[in-house]
Amino acid sequence: MGLALDEPQDKDVVEKINGIRVSIDERVVDYTKDTTIDYQTTSQGQGLVFLGQNECC
């Protein structure tokens, strides 16, 4: 799974989450259920991480 700042594509699922418009590729939308994007700082570095039921990244 990745994160990009670009315009939604025709087959993306577009939702408004916490006031922010988010587009999700329809091929991975099921994997994003109950997922949280968080910013963390650890001994390995800092950055965005995906947390949730389907933790994969």
Report the alpha-carbon distance of residue 23 to residue 49 in Å, rounded.
Answer: 17
Among 46, 45, 32, residue whose Cα is nearest residue 1: 32
What's the confidence (pLDDT) of residue 23?
92
Report the alpha-carbon distance of residue 9 to residue 43 in Å, rounded.
Answer: 36
State the pLDDT confidence band at 5, using cuts at 50, 70 and 90. Answer: confident
* Model pTM score: 0.62
What's the confidence (pLDDT) of residue 54?
57
pLDDT for 16-55, tens place per residue? 988 989 899 999 888 888 888 899 999 999 998 888 865 5
What's the confidence (pLDDT) of residue 50?
83
